[in-house]
Structure 1
Amino acid sequence: MNHLLNSMTPASLGYASLMFVSFMAAMFLGTIFLPGKVYASCLQPNNTRKSYKLNGLLLFMITTFSVVAFTLLFHFSLASLSNYFWSLFIVANLFAFTLTGILYVKRRGIKGGDIQQQSLVKIFSDLWFGVELNPTWLGVNLKMFAYQPSLIGLGLLNASFAYVQYEKYSEITLQMWMFQVFWWLYLATHYYYEEFMLSTWDIIAEKFGFMLVWGDLVLVPFFYSIIGWYLVDAIAPMSVSSVVAISLLYLVGLTIFRDANAQKHRFKKNPKVTIWGQPAQALEGKLLISGWWGVGRKLNYSGEICVYLALALTTGFDSIIPYLLPLWLCVLLPHRAWRDEQRCQAKYGNLWDAYCAKVRFRMLPFMY
C-alpha cells in the first residue's frame, strides 16, 4: 500500500472527488427514481411508523450488470478504485465530516437553537450521535439511503481487486473467485431481505450523526475491503479440502445470520408466523423462543462472525491483517449484544430474566 500513499497528489484527490461525488449522486438519483415497494417500519420511539420505499435490490442488480456488461463489451476496469484507494478514503472522510456538520446545523436551525450557547460536550455529543432520528432530503430517508453507497461501494471496491489481479498476473485465482462470490452473495442476500433492516436498532432508534455517517461511508467500504489487498498476490493454489471447509463455514454462517434475522422480522410482523414448521412460540407473545432464538439470544451475530472469518481464511495464514476484520467483529458484536441486552432488560424487566433462563446462551451454545 505504500506506493498508493506516495501516489496521492492534488490531481488524484480531484479525480477521486469526481468519482466519489458521481457515485453518490448516482446512488441518490437511483433511490429517488427507481421503482420500489413501500414498507412500513416497526414502531418508532414516538409510537409512529414510517414508510420506506425500498429499491436497494434493483439498484444493486443494475450496478452489477452494468459493471459486467461494460467489462465484457468495452474492456472496462475497476482497477482504478484500488489505485485511488487512499485518495477516495480522504474524500469519503471529508464528505462524512461535511455531511455531519450540515445535518447538525440544519436541525439546530429548525429548532431555533443557538449553537453558540451549547456546551462543547453537548455539541460533540450531538455531532457524534446525531440530533435527528430520520433526516429526509427530497423524500429520501438519509439513514436508510446511506446503506446504498456503503454496501454497493464496498462491493465495487472488493471487485476492483479481481481486476488488479488479472491485470497483474493475467489470471484470477480460485481464492479470489471465492472472495468475490462470497461478497456478492452477502450483498445480494442483504438486498433480497432489505425489509429486515427496518426492524434493526439503527433504523428504529439511532439518530443519524457522525457515528453512523462515518461508519456507513468510510468504515464499511474501506475497512471491510481490507482482505482483498492480500488476495491480489495470493496466487499459490488452494487445496480442495480448504476450499470445501471455508465454503461450508461461509454457507453455515450466512444461513444462520440471514435466517435468524428473518425469523425475528417475520415474528414482529406476524406473531402467528410458522418457524421451522411449527407455530412461533414467545414468552407472553413478546420474546421469541422459536427457531434460532430458542437456541441462542444472539446467534445472528455468531453467524456474521463466521461469514467474515471465512472471508479472511481465503487469504491463508501469511498475515494477521486480513483477520483484523473478524477480530474487530469479535469485539464489536459481543459488546453490541451486551448493549442490546441492557436495553431489553430495561424494557422487559422480569420477562427478560425469564427469557434468559429459558435461552441460556448468548452467541455460542453450551459455551457463551
Structure 2
Amino acid sequence: MQLLRKKCLFYQKKEFVRSLSVTVIIFSTPFIVYELYFLCNENGCKFSLMYILESFFQNEPLFDPFAFIVYFLWWILLISAWVFLPGYFKQGNILDNGARLTYKINGFRTLIFVLSICTIGFYLKGVDFLEFVWSHYLGLITSSLIFSIALSCYTYACSFLSNRCLSKAGNTGNYIYDFYMGRELNPRIGLFDIKEFVELRPGIILWVVLNLSFAAHQYIHLEGQITNSMVLVCLFQIWYCVDSLWNEELVLTTMDITTEGFGYMLCFGSITWVPFIYSFQARYLAFHPVYLSNFAVIGIILLQCLGFWIFRGANSQKDAFRKNPEASSVRHLTYITTEKGNKLITSGWWGRSRHINYFGDWLMAWAWCLPTGFENPITYFYVVYFAVYSPSFVLL
C-alpha cells in the first residue's frame, strides 16, 4: 500500500510538472515573438527588464484589421493552391492503427505560384509592393497567432469525435498537455491533411515573403542598395525553404507526421514561430545594415554549405532507410531495434552522432546569424534557442 501511494504521488507530481511546463511554453512563446519585435526596431535594440515591460504599453496596436484580412486571404490562397495546382500523391508510412494515408505533394509548386504573384506585384508596383509586409508586420504576427490558437482548439475538439487516430504522446488524459502535444495524430478534412499542410506551407512560404520584404525595405532605406550580409541571409534561408518544399515527401517519414499529434506545439510553431522568429536576422539587417569583408563572406558561405551537407545528407539517409531498409543505398547500415520495434541507425551519418541532423541545422543557424555582426547579442537568439530546444523538447 505504501508503494502504491508513492507511485500515485510520483504520478501526480509528474502530471503537475507537465501541466506547468506546457502552460509556461504556451503563454511565453507568443510573448517572445512580440518582444523580439518591440526590443529590436529602427530605434535600436535594447534588452532590459524595464524596456520589456514598457514595450507592451506602447500606443502601437497589436491587432490590425487590414492585416488580418490579408492574412485570411493568404490562407485562402494557399489552400486554393493545394486544391487546384497540379501535384502527385504519395503514401506515407504505416501508422500504429494500420492505416496508410495518402498526401498530395505540390508544396514547391505552391512556392513558385506565390513567388510569381510577388514578381507580378513587384513589376506593377515596384519595391513598395513588398513594403506592405513591413508596414503591417505586427498585425501579421497577431493574425498568425489567432489562426494558430483557433486551429489548435479546432483540432483538439475534433479529436474527441469517433474513429480518430490518436497520438500516444498527446492522449495522456492531461488536458493541457494533450492540447499542447496534439491529441489527434493526423487531423484531416477529406484528403486534406491539416498537419502536413501546416507543417510546410503557411509558415515556410511566409518566411520567404518576409525575407523578400525585409530586403526591399533595406533597398529603400539605403536608396537602391542591398548589403552583402542581407544577400547572404536571404539566400541561405530561402535556400532552406526551397529545399524543404522541394523535398516535401521526405517529411512523411518524420516523427512530426508519423508519431507526434497535431496540437499547439506544431500549430503555433509552424504558423507563427517559424516565419517570425526564423526571419529575425533579415529583419534586423533591414534597419541595421552590416557590411562584411570578402573573407567573412567566404567563411560564412563555407559554414552554410557544411551545415547543409550534414543536414540534408543525414535526413535523406534516414528517410531512405525508413522507406526500405533493404534498398541498395542503405542496406549496409547497421541498426538496433528498440522495445517499440523501431530501427535506429548506428552507422553512416547516424554512427557519428545520435542527432547529427540537428548539428548540421545548428551550423546553418550560425551561418544565418553571423552576417548580423557582433554589435548586438540578441541577433544570436536563434542559435541559442536551437541549441537548447532541439535536444530537450522531447523531455516534456
TM-score by length of structure 2 reads 0.77
Deviation at residue 279 of structure 1 after TM alignment: 5.1
Aligned to 1:55: 106
- Which of residues 68, 71, 78 is equivalent to 1:20? 71
Q: Given residue 156 of structure 1, which amino acid in structure 2 is its aligned partner?
A: V
**Cα distance between partner residues in 2 of 1:21 and 1:110:** 30
**Cα distance between partner residues in 2 of 1:66 and 1:8:** 30
**Given that residues 280 and 288 in structure 1 are in contact (C-alpha distance below 8 angstroms), is that contact kept between their aligned partners in structure 2?**
no
Q: Given residue 307 of structure 1, which amino acid in structure 2 is its aligned partner?
A: M
- Structure 1 unpaired stretches of 5+: 113-120, 341-368
**Cα distance between partner residues in 2 of 1:295 and 1:230:** 35
Aligned to 2:214: 161
Aligned to 1:70: 121
**Given that residues 234 and 282 in structure 2 are in contact (C-alpha distance below 8 angstroms), is that contact kept between their aligned partners in structure 1?**
no
Aligned to 2:51: none
Matches within 5 A, 1:240-259: 240-259=294-313
**Given that residues 107 and 131 in structure 1 are in contact (C-alpha distance below 8 angstroms), is that contact kept between their aligned partners in structure 2?**
yes
Aligned to 1:356: none
Aligned to 2:356: 299
Worse overlay, 64-73 or 142-151: 64-73
Deviation at residue 258 of structure 1 after TM alignment: 1.0
Aligned to 1:152: 205
- 3-state SS in 2 of match to 1:208: coil
**Cα distance between partner residues in 1 of 2:257 and 2:195:** 7
User: What's the CA shift string for 1:224-251, capped at 9, x where partnerless?
Assistant: 1111222113434310110000010011
Deviation at residue 9 of structure 1 after TM alignment: 4.3
Matches within 5 A, 1:121-132: 122-132=174-184
Aligned to 1:366: none
Deviation at residue 138 of structure 1 after TM alignment: 4.4
- Which of residues 143, 146, 153 is equivalent to 1:94? 146
Deviation at residue 136 of structure 1 after TM alignment: 0.9
**Given that residues 273 and 280 in structure 1 are in contact (C-alpha distance below 8 angstroms), is that contact kept between their aligned partners in structure 2?**
no
**Cα distance between partner residues in 2 of 1:7 and 1:62:** 37
**Cα distance between partner residues in 1 of 2:313 and 2:392:** 22
Q: Given residue 44 of structure 1, which amino acid in structure 2 is its aligned partner?
A: L
- 3-state SS in 1 of match to 2:103: strand
Aligned to 1:345: none
Deviation at residue 293 of structure 1 after TM alignment: 1.6
User: What's the CA shift string for 1:115-160, capped at 9, x where partnerless?
Assistant: xxxxxx8332332222211111242100001020010011111221
**Cα distance between partner residues in 1 of 2:218 and 2:204:** 22
Matches within 5 A, 1:309-348: 309-336=366-393
Count matched residues.
328
User: What's the CA shift string for 1:231-290, capped at 9, x where partnerless?
Assistant: 113434310110000010011101110111001111222223344xx8532236943344
User: What's the CA shift string for 1:175-226, capped at 9, x where partnerless?
Assistant: 1111111111111111121111011111101111112111111111111111
**Cα distance between partner residues in 2 of 1:104 and 1:234:** 42
1:221 paired to 2:280: no
Q: 1:236 to 1:287 in 2, by over 3 A?
A: closer
Worse overlay, 282-291 or 312-321: 282-291
Worse overlay, 242-251 or 294-303: 294-303
- 3-state SS in 2 of match to 1:108: coil
Deviation at residue 172 of structure 1 after TM alignment: 0.9
**Cα distance between partner residues in 2 of 1:192 and 1:255:** 16
Aligned to 2:191: 139
**Given that residues 224 and 325 in structure 1 are in contact (C-alpha distance below 8 angstroms), is that contact kept between their aligned partners in structure 2?**
yes
Aligned to 1:175: 229
**Given that residues 236 and 368 in structure 2 are in contact (C-alpha distance below 8 angstroms), is that contact kept between their aligned partners in structure 1?**
yes
**Cα distance between partner residues in 2 of 1:37 and 1:339:** 36
**Cα distance between partner residues in 2 of 1:138 and 1:284:** 37
- Which of residues 246, 254, 264 is equivalent to 1:192? 246
Q: Quote the RMSD (CA, aligned, Å).
A: 2.5
**Given that residues 252 and 258 in structure 2 are in contact (C-alpha distance below 8 angstroms), is that contact kept between their aligned partners in structure 1?**
yes
- Structure 2 unpaired stretches of 5+: 1-36, 43-54, 165-172, 338-342
Aligned to 1:84: 136
Q: Given residue 160 of structure 1, which amino acid in structure 2 is its aligned partner?
A: S
Q: Given residue 97 of structure 2, which amino acid in structure 1 is its aligned partner?
A: N
- Which of residues 269, 273, 276 is equivalent to 2:327? 273
- 3-state SS in 1 of match to 2:201: helix
Deviation at residue 110 of structure 1 after TM alignment: 4.6
